[in-house]
Amino acid sequence: MKPTLLVLAAGMGSRYGSLKQIEGIGPSNETIIDYSIYDAIRAGFGKIVFVIRRDIEKDFKEIFGNRFNNKIKVEYAFQELTYLPEGFSLPEARTKPWGTSHAVMMAKDIIKEPFAVINADDFYGAEAFYTMAKYLSSISEEDTQHYCMIGYNLKNTLSKYGSVSRGICQLDNDGFLSEVVERTHIEDTETGIVFKENNKDYPLTGQEIVSMNFWGFTPSYFEESEAMFKNFLRDNNDNPKSEFFIPLVVNNLTQNKKIKLKVLNSKSVWFGVTYQEDKPNVQSELGILIDKNIYPKNIWK
């Protein structure tokens, strides 16, 4: 069975200043999403599921609705604040989305096979998709608790224009994840790379393996995350800015030895658009890959 690609495209893009998920960035007005889908098709994925918000549905489908016709099956799931387990209600002060793991949960009725998860605004590289597809295709029906992720070196994932959030990973001797910690403010300063917490700077080497939200799961993830989400809601009812991150779920499952998660090293170049100023650099990097014939100038022609 071919794996599915789940694309998280419900982000508000507040730091970037627009709906960055649907902005053209390639030479023929391709978006970063286009390159991800192009790579996924080449790598052998069988279906795409977009997680979006209802308020961007019209704009999103105007751009992508017919773009992948006859190329790959496409379905949609919608992330809504009011999608909560039975017995829970939306806190009055809550306006912020519940986070990436909540977004993944939106696809539980659509995905029944091993699947990968990516951000809509991150470029992961062709080799990363081949690596992920190969691993997911090797998972047997009995290996429901075998997960994976693509790992990148921290220094290659930073922005020159502000802080970023990254899941910093610890690996065991066999290359399996032993812990992942979400750092929400990592910055490359004049004195080196640091993460900030409680108004203090903590140094990082830049060689740390980080998650860029390119995960590989089986459908068991839906059940595991839904159970954890209930506890999250109880613990964070009074915190309107709390987020239910994928690394939070993965770390809990890893620490409790419920899963084994293989960290797959990627030689691909990662780059993304976190801030408006990042766009020229992304266009330059894409130009280099096009000059190397890794991508055509018009990928859907």
Average pLDDT on 197-226 reads 94
**Of 256, 178, 252, 258, nearest in space to 218 by CA:** 258
The tens digit of pLDDT for each residue in 251-267 reads 999 999 999 999 998 87
Residue 17 included in any domain: yes
**Of 266, 274, 256, nearest in space to 166 by CA:** 274
Residue 266 included in any domain: no
**Of 39, 2, 3, nearest in space to 269 by CA:** 39
The pLDDT confidence band at residue 102, using thresholds 50, 70 and 90, is very high
The pLDDT confidence band at residue 56, using thresholds 50, 70 and 90, is confident
pLDDT of residue 20 exceeding 80:
no
Q: What is the pLDDT of residue 237?
A: 85
Average pLDDT on 95-103 reads 91
- Whole-model pTM: value is 0.89
The pLDDT confidence band at residue 12, using thresholds 50, 70 and 90, is very low
Q: Residue 51: which CATH number? A: 3.90.550.10
Average pLDDT on 12-22 reads 49
Residue 186 included in any domain: no
Residue 182 included in any domain: no
Residue 220 included in any domain: yes
Average pLDDT on 3-26 reads 71
Q: What is the pLDDT of residue 19?
A: 57
CA-only gyration radius of the chain, Å: 19
Average pLDDT on 76-88 reads 92
The pLDDT confidence band at residue 223, using thresholds 50, 70 and 90, is very high
**Of 11, 46, 53, 4, nearest in space to 32 by CA:** 11
Q: Among residues of the chain, what percentage have pLDDT more than 90?
A: 63
Residue 92 included in any domain: yes
Q: What is the pLDDT of residue 286?
A: 92
What separation in angstroms does the CA of 117 have from each of 4, 234, 298?
9, 26, 25
The tens digit of pLDDT for each residue in 109-134 reads 999 999 999 999 899 999 999 999 99
Q: Which residues form the domain of 140?
A: 4-150+213-246+273-291
67 compared with 262, residue with greater pLDDT: 262
Average pLDDT on 95-117 reads 95
Burial of 38: CB neighbours in 10 Å, binned 0-12, 13-18, 19+: buried
The CA distance from 101 to 79, in Å, is 11
Decide the pairing of beta strands 164-171 and 209-217.
Answer: antiparallel
Q: Among residues of the chain, what percentage have pLDDT more than 70?
A: 96
What separation in angstroms does the CA of 213 have from each of 52, 113, 191, 237, 293?
16, 19, 27, 26, 27
pLDDT of residue 16 exceeding 80:
no
Residue 100 included in any domain: yes
Neighbours of 187 (CB within 10 A): 16
Structural domains counted in the chain = 1
Look over the chain and give the mean of its residue pLDDT values, rounded to a whole number: 90
pLDDT of residue 161 exceeding 80:
yes
Residue 44 included in any domain: yes
Q: What is the pLDDT of residue 261?
A: 96
- Give CA 5 to chain center in angstroms: 11
The pLDDT confidence band at residue 169, using thresholds 50, 70 and 90, is very high
pLDDT of residue 17 exceeding 60:
no
Q: What is the pLDDT of residue 174?
A: 94
